[in-house]
Amino acid sequence: MSKPVLAIVGRPNVGKSTIFNRIAGERISIVEDMPGVTRDRIYSSAEWLNTEFSLIDTGGIEIGDEPLLHQMRQQAELAIEEADVILFMVDGTEGITAADEEVAKLLFRSKKPIVLGVNKIDNPERRELLYDFYSLGMGEPIGISGTHGIGIGDLLDAAVAHFPDLEEEEKDEDTIYFSLIGRPNVGKSSLVNAILGKERVIVSDIAGTTRDAIDSKFEKDGQKYVIIDTAGMRKRGKVYESTEKYSVMRALKAIERSDVVLMVINAEEGIIEQDKKVAGYAHEAGKAVVIVVNKWDAIEKDDKTMREFEQKIRDHFLYLSYAPIVFVSALTKQRLHHLYPVITQVAENHSLRVQTNVLNDVIMDAVAMNPAPMDKGKRLKINYATQVATKPPTFVLFVNDPNLLHFSYRRFLENRIRETFGFTGTPLRILARQKN
Ligand code: GDP
Ligand code: GDP
C-alpha cells in the first residue's frame, strides 16, 4: 500500500529535526539497537489519528557543498516532487527572513498543499509573533513548539486534511512483488535487466504518477512475479539523484510496495555503512529480505571464499540473521536461477500462518525449559499466544505484565518459533499484551 508523504522544509535551525523526532516518536526507538539505522535519520513511518504516512526531513538531505540558499532550493524541489503535503517550517522568534521568502516562493508555485508551522512558540505570550507570518500568503500560521510539544496535534490535523485519498493498491494475491535495493553501482539495474531479459515480460507499465516506479510482471515455473523498478534506477540525471540520501528515499518507496526486498551487495567492494542503513529500513518495514551478493564473477575464489563472505555479512547485519544469502552475477548470469526458489520461499514464509495450538505448545515448552528471569521480584508469565497477522508474521503474547518482556527473552522466543516453523527470510514481530 502506498502511503501519503509529508515533507518538512525550512532553513537550518528552525527546528525541523526536533519536529521530525516528535512526529516520528516511538517508531524510531524500535530500531535503536540497529547500528547505522537511526543516525542522520531523515525518513520515518508515522501515524496520526489512524492515518499512516511517511515523513521526510528534507533538511537532513545534504546536497554537495552548495551554498545554503541553493541547497534549500533543491531541498524544496525535492519535497515538491516527492511529497503530497509540505510542512513549511519557520522560526517564530526570528520573523520572516530572506531565505524563508525564497523558499516560500518556490513552494507557492508548486501548488502542493502547504501547512505553515511557526516553531518556537514556546508560551502563550509568543503567539502574537504569529501574525507576521500571514504575509507569506500560505494561509493560517500554526504556532508550534518542538521542544515543548505544543501545537503538534493541530499541525498534523491540518496536514492530514490535505492528504489525497490514495486508493488501496490492487494486488494480485498470487503474485510476489519484489524490489532490489542497494547503493549505486552494486548492479541493481543490471540484475533487473538480467532477470527480465531471460523471462518473458507480460506487462511493463508506469504504476501511477506518484509512485515513480516501473512494474514488470513475469512468470517463472508457474509463479507470477512483479519486479518493482524504482525511477532512481533509471538515472534521471538531476543533481539530487546522485546524492546518497536521495537514492535511499527512492528505495524506501519501492520497499513499501514490496513483499520481498532483495538487498544487493557488491562482492567487489564488500559491505559499507550505507548498505546497512537501507537494509535496516526493509527490516523495519517488516518485509521479507534476501541478501544478494552480485558481481560474484569478479572475485578470485577458492572453496572458502563464499563461506567467509557469508560470515562477513552475518557479522555486519546482525538483525538480518533470518535473511538467506544468494551469490550471483548479473554480468555472466551465473547462479541467477538460484534466486527464484529463494524469493518464492521467503514470500511464503512472510505470509505463513501457524496453528494456534502448535504455537502455544512451542511457547509453553520454551518457557518450561527456560523461564523468563526475575525482574524486581516479578517474572513474566505467558498465558496464551496467538498469531494476529502475516506479512510479517506477528504474534501476540497475553502476559501478566508486558513490561516484563525484555529484548533478550523476546529474542529467545523468536528463535524457538523460528526453529519450529522455519520462517527463513521474514522478520517476526512479537508483541506483549496485558491479559485481562
Ligand atoms: P533544524 O536545523 O531545522 O533541523 O533544527 P533543529 O531541530 O536542529 O533545532 C535547532 C535548534 O532550535 C536546536 O537548538 C533546538 O533545540 C531548538 N529548538 C527546536 N524547537 C524549538 C522550540 O520549539 N522552541 C525553542 N525555544 N527552541 C527550539
Ligand atoms: P546500479 O547503480 O546498482 O543499478 O548498478 P548498475 O546495474 O548500473 O551496474 C553498475 C556497474 O556494475 C556497471 O558498470 C555494470 O556493468 C557492472 N556490473 C553489474 N553487475 C555486474 C556483475 O555481476 N559483474 C560485474 N563484473 N560487473 C557488474
Q: CA–CA separation, 251 vs 343, rounded Å?
A: 18
ipTM score for this prediction: 0.70
What average pLDDT score do residues 115-142 get? 94
Mean pLDDT of the chain: 84
CATH code for 5-161?
A: 3.40.50.300
- Residue 17 CA to ligand 1 center (angstroms) comes to 8
* Cα angle 313, 181, 407; round to 5: 55
The answer to whether domain 175-350 has CATH 3.40.50.300 is yes
What is the pTM (predicted TM-score) of this model? 0.72
Cell 503474485 maps to which residue? 175
- DSSP letters for 59-117: GG---TT--HHHHHHHHHHHHHHH-SEEEEEEETTT---HHHHHHHHHHHHHT--EEEE
Number of H helices, E strands in the chain: 12, 18
- Give the pLDDT band (50/70/90) at residue 153: very high
CATH number of 356-434: 3.30.300.20
pLDDT digits (tens, 9 = 90+) for 69-92: 787 887 788 788 888 999 999 999
Distance from residue 13's CA to the centre of ligand 1 (Å): 6
From CA 82, how far away is CA 23, in angstroms rounded?
Answer: 19
Ligand 2: residue whose CA is nearest its atom 18: 187
d(CA 253, CA 257): 7
Residue 61 annotated as binding site: yes
Cβ(147) – ligand 1 distance below 6 Å? yes
Q: Which ligand is nearest to the CA of 129?
A: 1
pLDDT tens figures, 19-52: 998 998 754 433 334 444 443 567 788 888 888 8
Q: Which atom of ligand 1 is nearest to the CA of 57?
A: 4
Ligand 1 site, residue 146, Cβ cutoff 6 A: yes
Nearest CA to ligand 1 atom 16: 147
Using the atom order of ligand 1, give the atom closest to the CA of residue 21: 7
Phi, psi of 63 (to 5 degrees): -120, 85
Tell me which of 402 and 74 has the higher pLDDT. Answer: 402
Q: Which ligand is nearest to the CA of 297?
A: 2
In degrees and rounded to multiples of 5, residue 51 shows phi and psi of -100, 120
- The answer to which of 54-58, 112-116, 273-277, 407-411 has the lowest mean pLDDT is 273-277
DSSP E strand boundaries for 221-284: 223-230, 260-266
Q: Can you tell me the distance from the alpha carbon of 175 to that of 161, in angstroms, rounded to the nearest whole number?
A: 34
Burial class (CB in 10 A: 0-12, 13-18, 19+), 391: middle
Please state, in angstroms and rounded to a whole number, the distance separating the CA atoms of residues 324 and 404: 32
pLDDT at 234 over 60: no
By the 8 A CB rule, do 100 and 90 touch? yes
Is position 286 annotated in a ligand binding site? Answer: no
Domains of the chain: which residue ranges?
5-161, 175-350, 356-434
Higher local confidence (pLDDT), 307 or 66: 307
| CA–CA gap between residue 87 and residue 107 (Å, rounded) | 10
- Closest Cα to atom 22 of ligand 1: 120
pLDDT per position as a tens digit, 162-206: 998 766 666 778 999 999 988 778 888 889 888 887 555 554 444
Q: Among residues of the chain, what percentage have pLDDT more than 70? A: 84
pLDDT band at residue 151 using 50, 70 and 90 as cut-offs: very high
Kindly give the distance from the C-alpha atom of residue 203 to the centroid of ligand 2, in angstroms, as a whole number. 25
In the chain, the amino acid numbered 51 is T
**pLDDT at position 145:** 96
pLDDT grade for 280, boundaries at 50, 70 and 90: confident
Pocket, ligand 2, Cβ cutoff 6 A:
182, 184-190, 233, 294-295, 297-298, 329-331
| Residue showing cell 513474566 | 380
* CA 114 – ligand 1 centroid, Å: 21
**pLDDT tier at 144, thresholds 50, 70, 90:** very high
With a 6 Å cutoff on the Cβ, whether 151 touches ligand 1 is: no
Residues 6+ apart with CB under 8 A from 165: none
Pocket test for ligand 1, best of 14, 16, 17, 18 (most atoms within 8 A of CB): 18
**Strand, coil or helix: 172:** coil
Domain pair 175-350 / 356-434, same fold? no
For 302, other C-beta atoms within 10 Å of its C-beta total 7
Residue 11 has pLDDT above 80, yes or no: yes
Q: Which residues lie below 8 Å from residue 251, measured CB to CB, with a gap of 6+? A: 179, 181, 182, 230, 232, 278, 281
User: If you measure from the C-alpha of residue 35 to the centroid of ligand 1, how many angstroms do you get, rounded to a whole number?
Assistant: 25
Instruction: Determine the Cα–Cα distance for residues 244 and 247; give it in Å rounded to an integer.
Output: 5
